[in-house]
Amino acid sequence: MKPLTQAPPLVEAPRLRSRRLRDLLLILGLLILFLAGIGVLAAATGWEETLHQLSRLTALQVAVLLGLSLANYLCRGTRWHLFARTLGLPTHFRQDLRHFIGGFAMTVTPGRVGELIRMRWLRRETGWSVDRTAPLVLVDRASDLAAMAILLGLAIALSAAGISGAIPVALLALGTAYVATHPRLLAWCVTQAYRVIGRWPRLFGRFRQTARSLRAFSQPGVLSTALALGACGWLAEGFALHLLLIWMGADIGFWSAVGIFLFSTLAGGLTGAPGGVGGAEAAMIALLKLQGVPLEVSVPATAVIRLTTLWFAILLGLAVFPFAERCSKKAAHDLENR
């Protein structure tokens, strides 16, 4: 019997290595496309001006931008831990933070589905099935959408920036978050979707089961705390763009910078492109242009803020990912030997 129990890992190992290589090539390819796109815009506006703006940034200022990104990840990682404890998972804070940060390595997969690796780690370490941990991922995404939609609404109200299309995007994000955090409404939507499609009954049955499992997150205290943590995290990213524009001599105001950052991030996600690459940068540069920021400033500012937010998160994820894999495999081995 021993050879039979050891065979699956030997069979799956090449597949896992192939999948990881594919994901790394995807990340590398998207990074090259990102840098190439920024490079083309920089060349069109003049390399001298772009390099001059970049040279104005000091190491301390870059460290501040990265620190604000870390504050975002810590706030949202704390929220992930809150949701995990609410769901009843027997995990501790460092463990949940490891899962949350490690999942960033898969951010640029289409639709960010690669971040579902967190559920595999949870299955290995706790024995909980994917069906039981699925509500955690759903409510985390919904909480992000709700926080960003509310902040975008505030930015529209408190800034002079006329962001075309911001209100529909904010309403769409808020509506999606509302449905995803109300079990009965979500279950009803799943049922209606199945009636329209009429296929995959087992899959839709799992969706309904996941929707019913969201009741644990419906407590006002949990939702309000999660919303506050998400808002603090995304405000930190918006504040980073605000500081960066000030340092580059193009202050457009705090709420305008927050609104542009959030709208660009949401718009990039709506394109369906991995990590929103391409769409987010185009939206940010266009909106900064509408605020009177010249291309020789908006292009390097967009490049820097995306490197210190999206690509910094991916770098952290790639650093934590192997550690998270080792810990999960060790925990799975320990569970099997109990």
Calculate mean pLDDT across residues 57-72. Answer: 96
Q: Does residue 47 register a pLDDT over 90?
A: no
* pLDDT per residue as tens digits for the range 129-188: 888 888 888 888 888 888 988 898 888 878 765 565 566 766 776 677 777 666 677 777
More confident residue, 320 or 41: 320
Which region among 96-105, 163-172, 247-256 has the lowest average model confidence (pLDDT)?
163-172
Amino acid 288 reads L
How crowded is residue 238: how many other Cβ atoms within 10 Å of its Cβ? 26
Q: Does residue 91 register a pLDDT over 90?
A: yes
Amino acid 83 reads F
Calculate mean pLDDT across residues 290-314. Answer: 90
* pLDDT per residue as tens digits for the range 277-287: 778 888 899 89
* pLDDT per residue as tens digits for the range 204-239: 676 666 666 667 777 778 888 999 999 999 999 999
* Distances, alpha carbon 204 to alpha carbons 132, 135, 215, 279, in Å: 15, 14, 18, 31
pTM (2 decimals)? 0.81
Arithmetic mean of pLDDT over the chain: 80
Q: What is the model's pLDDT at position 83?
A: 93
Q: What is the model's pLDDT at position 4?
A: 38
Q: What is the model's pLDDT at position 105?
A: 85
* pLDDT per residue as tens digits for the range 326-337: 999 888 877 776
Q: What is the model's pLDDT at position 16?
A: 55
Count Cα neighbours of 208 within 13 Å in the Cβ-side half-sphere.
14
Q: What is the model's pLDDT at position 254?
A: 94
Which span out of 113-122, 170-179, 260-269 was modeled with the highest average pLDDT?
A: 260-269
Q: Does residue 1 register a pLDDT over 60?
A: no
